[in-house]
Amino acid sequence: MRIEGNGALVAGGASGLGEATVRRLVAGGAHVVIADLNEERGQTLAGELGERATFMHINVTDEAAVGAAVRVAAGQPVPLRIAVSCAGIGWAARVAGRRGAHPLQPFETVIQVNLIGTFNVMRLAAAAMLESEPTESGERGVCVNTASIAAFDGQIGQIAYSASKGAIASMTLPAARDLASVGIRVCAIAPGTFDTPLLAALPEESREALAAAVPFPSRLGRPDEFAALVAHIVENEMLNGEVIRLDGSLRMPPK
Residue 151 phi, psi (nearest 5)? -65, -25
**Catalytic residue check, 161:** yes
Bridge partners of 54, per DSSP, are 33
CA 227 – CA 1 distance, rounded (Å): 16
Q: Centre a 10 Å sphere on the Cβ of residue 132 and count the other Cβ atoms it contains.
A: 17
Residue 54 phi, psi (nearest 5)? -130, 135
CA 176 – CA 113 distance, rounded (Å): 21
User: Rounded to 10 degrees, what is the CA torsion of 92, 95, 96, 101?
Assistant: 90
Out of 161, 188, 227, 239, pick the active-site residue. 161
Residues acting as catalytic residues = 161
